[in-house]
Structure 1
Amino acid sequence: MRDQLFGGRYRLLRQMGEGGMGQVWEARDETLGRLVAVKVIALLVGGGSRGDEARARFLREARITAALQHPNVVTVHDLGETDTEDGRAPFLVMELLRGEALDAVLRRGPAALPDTARWGAEICDALAAAHETRVLHRDIKPSNVLITTASTVKVLDFGIARAADPSATANHLTQTGFIVGTPPYMAPEQARGFPEARSDLYALGCLLFELITGRLPFEAPDAVGYLTAHLSQEPPAPSSVAAGIPPEWDELVLTLLRKEPGQRYASASALAQALRRLESRTGHGPSPHPPPPKPPETDNAARALRAWAGNIQQALGIARTIADKTTKAQVLAEIAGVAVAVDRDEARRIAADAERIAHTITNTKDKAQTLASVAAAIGTVDADEALRIARDAERTAHTITNTKDKAQTLASVAAAIGTVDADEALRIARDAERTAHTITNVFGSNSQRNRKDKALVLAGIAAAIGTVDADEALRIARDAERTARTITNTEKKEKALTDVAMAVAAVDAGEALRIAQFTTDSGSKALLLATIATAVAAVDAGEALRIAREAERIAHTFTNNALGGLLLARFGADQKSLVLASVAEAMAAVDAGEGLRIAQTISDNAGKALALASVAGAVAAVDPDETLRIAREAERIAHPITHNETFQAAMQAAIMELVLVSIAAAVAAVDPDEARRIAQAITDEALQASALIGVAPM
């Protein structure tokens, strides 16, 4: 198939691998001029009408899994069918990754315990994102986990084993003769035909066992032998197979390998937390086998990573000059959160510095929220430390006398540890919810102002836990909506309902659209629809485009001074232009050309530059030259604001510095040196530090 053109645009260059389902090829996308990986599902070639049905189902299910957007999940760019010598074959187009799969790692022997814990936690992060959307992997095994040259885990083939089952129907998972998954890693309930989310955790348990011992938990001569073992035999403790394995590793792995799903870890998020605790306790000893060869020094990713490390140090130096304690601690926390990708020990030191400064802040609300920021930053490095700091933030929040501030701060703490400990996050969020229901002010507990505050705080709590528990977030959001609907003042009611819809958008776009129907203010409605379009973009590009076009239509009916809530607009930026900039950003996520068209219609400099920066970021992965061209136009527009003594001019200059942060972020993945130049032109210390650490490796 070499040199064959798939889908009219993907030219196959060289075969990279072959497995039970088909072949993987390195290919060139001749439309966009980039290299990609093409997976040809040879298993579903031909087959008459039944083959046509199987291929159609594969494409339907593959579209669902392709919507997964997560740093630890391989990105699927496209899918389709093509003619081969044997008949029609479906194919997937994915990002081209450099690195090695865990099966290659295992050929060198067992992995180090800290590496295993870190890789396992990142696999869990990918599984948690998938399970939230009710997508199962069904085939976790070494060859489906890649370690990139930047040491990042990428999980491959989500749901593809199920989608590629040639004998499944709409109503039955499998038919006789085809087992979805790989027998050495298959959970007992999956072997019986009833997989669930914890089946993926069982498979991961088999993989972790193999990584730390060098062998599988069960050994058998064939598939039937493996399935029999999974169904009826108890696995050995890893420490009985290999020396030097601590008891806590035995406990974790054997919990994952329990026969009953209910006796395993409750979720991938819970397992990720346990693995990160193990990583922090195990330390960073030498690996029992040599690492893979490093990429050449000329490799773009390696150069960008070194440059990024330099940016972090420069940002750190700037942060230490900031006089305001709250700002300094929050910027240090932000730097610590980014530094984990370069130097975890350095990230811990920076976070400790931020925590120390946070404890000197006298305002209890600022102190608690800053501690929450530190906990969020350190969560991926040290879960126990993150929980300790979060509980300190929670204790501080409970000393706040204003009930509205207390509830909002508790919500911030819950959001900070959502990825570290979901149960703790939900506990704190429920505490915030109880506090919100006690909000009172000088106008009385049942006043219009009081109801508005209560609705807005409840919406904020829902937004804080949206990624932790979607059902719980929707429950709280509906409570907020009920409260908002009791407000008789139309303007206050619409503001509260808009905030509720914003909170719901990332959890349930349909619910957000339902609430949006009750918004009559055109500016608020356009902003809300733009938010919903952005949330929908990763799942349904067509629907996102439709919503974004509706947002654009409504934005053009908006008149200035109708939207008092836009802070930037109060200080010299045109309100309508800022609304259109948000719409352009949403449009660019699904159609960069349409986003650029909207951006070019904006007359106000601030709005136009913001819109162009968003469009530049959207096309960065597709057309680097166009990204730089658009970003330079945005920068040219952003600079003409002159500094003078008037308050409005000073605010306009501050707005343009915010715009420069967005432009630097847009350029970062394409040209780190150019992004650094733009960041260094920013005069505000906190903004400059944020811009510098945003110049991340490619």
Structure 2
Amino acid sequence: MIHCLNPNCTQPGNPENHRFCQNCGWRLRLGDRYEALYPIGTGRNSRTFLGRDRTTLVKPQCLIKRFTPTGATRLAQETTAEKFRNLVSALAISSQHPQIPDLLGYFEREQQQFLVQQFLAGSDLVQFLKDKGGPFSSEEILALLRDTLPVLQHLHRHRIIHRDIKPSNWRRPTNQGHWWLVDLGAMKPLAATHRGQPGTVVGSAEYIAPEQLRGAATFASDIYSLGVICLQLLTGLRPFDLFDSVHGCWRWHSIVPDVDKPLALILDGMVQPAVSDRIGSVETLMAALGMANPSLGSASSPQPPKKWTPHWEETFESQILAVTSLPSIDALLLLTTAGTIEVRALAKPQTCLTILTLEIPDPLTLVPHPHVPLFVVGSRQGGCEVWSLVQTRWQCRSLSDISHGITQCVFTSDGETLIGGDHQGRLCLWDWAKSKVKTVWQEHTSPITALESLSWRS
């Protein structure tokens, strides 16, 4: 069965090989490759599905997370959506590390946002401790720290706090020896000017640092949480059973008195309630453990970090026919086969400002006006629409039709005249402001495939 990703679909189950939902008509695949099989988790504004990649037989399983922006107003919803886009950008950076699942894709559809991640099969630290049948030794704790600290170092070097370090978020894939960090949905990218301002409280209560409870998570908060995990693995007891809330300290030494003194000092330094008393950076912690090149990462990493190209990439549901910029308002225009124009921010193309629905069928060409917020779309079937931005709204009107499909359009350099070419080799000049044809002539027998801007004088 294929699960429809439309949150409003009342009967989301669909037979195999269906491409559209038989109940609501939604396209079942994201980017024509990823489809959901069944839900495996639900959050406040999100739902996670086990999915599969239809384009490969090698490790086809994936995770699909659907996020629904919320807010009392359209502006509030867009603000929420933008925060999720920032999270996706941070995920793209995080997944460069070989012990963090890959970000496979990001999609937006009808006010819904979707991210697709690599799926990991294997046990987490909770199950591993249960299967082990007893607590960890000092050597096993040291091995765990040496394996996991380079992952935190990678995040912190990119100014990202995970904020939900707990045993269930460390997973060891089947037939692999390294622990992978999963579920980065709570992580927080920090601005360059961040000074620990209070924010939303997230995390798991047993592992969360005191300052994080106040909404002021720091890089040291992740160190605290990892230290608490180590105490749990050493003693076999839950954190709430180890912390003395009356005296505000951890009571674990009497339970495992044979822990190596250097390791005990390091663990105590990781779980100090006061940030000023705690080991403050992963690099300091790695140096205390004698790890080589702490500033460059562990030499025991399973593979070199993946290359990252800092450009935004997005897979669209419809094929893109034409892309152009509209310099007068710093916008990017995308003409799609769905008969729409996506208006996006030129400086940040992942931000879709609005989607315009065309009235003419079979659009082919898109041309921006050189001076004002206006553009023209030409049709294969012989029509042109002029779209202009009036205050904050886009308005559409039609130019006089011609009998043959328009293959190319261009404005003259002064922006006063629009020139269009058709399939029959004819050229048509419009006074676009008055929606009138100035003249039509034919000097070619083949379709016009390209036009260049020129200065026109009547």
Q: TM-score when scaled to structure 2?
A: 0.51
Amino acid at match of 1:259: P
Amino acid at match of 2:277: Q
Match of 1:257 among 251, 257, 271: 271
Please report how far the alpha carbon of residue 55 of structure 1 lies from its aligned counterpart in structure 2 after TM superposition: 2.4
Note if contact 2:3-2:36 (Cα within 8 Å) is conserved in structure 1.
yes
Please report how far the alpha carbon of residue 153 of structure 1 lies from its aligned counterpart in structure 2 after TM superposition: 1.1
Q: Structure 1 residues 14, 46: closer, same or farther in 2, change over 3 A?
A: farther
Q: 1:96 is matched with which residue?
A: 119
Please report how far the alpha carbon of residue 206 of structure 1 lies from its aligned counterpart in structure 2 after TM superposition: 0.9
Correspondence 1:101-120 to 2 at 5 A: 101-108=124-131, 109-120=134-145
Q: Deviations over 1:8-27 (max 9, x none)?
A: 43111244555677544331
Note if contact 2:161-2:188 (Cα within 8 Å) is conserved in structure 1.
no
Note if contact 2:198-2:216 (Cα within 8 Å) is conserved in structure 1.
no
| Structure 1: distance between partners of 2:270 and 2:3 | 45
Note if contact 1:121-1:271 (Cα within 8 Å) is conserved in structure 2.
no
Q: 1:201 is matched with which residue?
A: 223
| Structure 2: distance between partners of 1:251 and 1:44 | 45
Match of 1:418 among 274, 293, 296: 293
Q: 1:80 is matched with which residue?
A: 107
Note if contact 1:20-1:43 (Cα within 8 Å) is conserved in structure 2.
no
Q: 2:253 is matched with which residue?
A: 239
Note if contact 1:11-1:29 (Cα within 8 Å) is conserved in structure 2.
yes
| Structure 1: distance between partners of 2:103 and 2:56 | 15
Q: Deviations over 1:193-243 (max 9, x none)?
A: 2221111101111111111112233349xxxxx9x959x71111x332346
Amino acid at match of 1:58: F
Q: 1:272 is matched with which residue?
A: 286
Note if contact 2:279-2:285 (Cα within 8 Å) is conserved in structure 1.
yes
Q: Deviations over 1:553-579 (max 9, x none)?
A: xxxxxxxxxxxxxxxxxxxxxxxxxxx
Note if contact 2:162-2:188 (Cα within 8 Å) is conserved in structure 1.
no
Q: 1:460 is matched with which residue?
A: none
Q: Which runs of 5+ in 1 are unaligned?
A: 165-169, 221-225, 278-382, 384-416, 423-466, 469-534, 544-698
Amino acid at match of 1:268: V
Q: 2:166 is matched with which residue?
A: 141
| Structure 2: distance between partners of 1:126 and 1:135 | 11
| Structure 2: distance between partners of 1:21 and 1:216 | 29
Q: Which runs of 5+ in 2 are unaligned?
A: 5-27, 298-304, 314-458
Q: 2:34 is matched with which residue?
A: 10
| Structure 2: distance between partners of 1:172 and 1:248 | 31
Q: 1:211 is matched with which residue?
A: 233
Q: 1:189 is matched with which residue?
A: 211
Is 1:59 aligned to 2:85, yes or no?
yes
| Structure 1: distance between partners of 2:195 and 2:268 | 34
| Structure 2: distance between partners of 1:114 and 1:73 | 24
Q: CA RMSD in A?
A: 3.7
Alignment length (residue pairs): 272
Q: Secondary structure at the match of 2:90?
A: helix
| Structure 2: distance between partners of 1:11 and 1:40 | 11
| Structure 2: distance between partners of 1:45 and 1:37 | 26
Q: TM-score when scaled to structure 1?
A: 0.35
| Structure 1: distance between partners of 2:2 and 2:137 | 39
| Structure 1: distance between partners of 2:250 and 2:93 | 36
Q: Secondary structure at the match of 2:164?
A: coil
Amino acid at match of 2:168: S
Amino acid at match of 1:3: H
* Amino-acid identity (%): 25
Correspondence 1:347-366 to 2 at 5 A: none
Q: Structure 1 residues 42, 541: closer, same or farther in 2, change over 3 A?
A: closer
Q: 1:37 is matched with which residue?
A: 62
Please report how far the alpha carbon of residue 245 of structure 1 lies from its aligned counterpart in structure 2 after TM superposition: 3.0
| Structure 2: distance between partners of 1:104 and 1:19 | 23
Note if contact 2:269-2:277 (Cα within 8 Å) is conserved in structure 1.
yes
Q: Structure 1 residues 198, 172: closer, same or farther in 2, change over 3 A?
A: closer
Q: Secondary structure at the match of 1:91?
A: strand
Note if contact 2:106-2:116 (Cα within 8 Å) is conserved in structure 1.
yes
Amino acid at match of 2:240: F
Note if contact 1:36-1:93 (Cα within 8 Å) is conserved in structure 2.
no
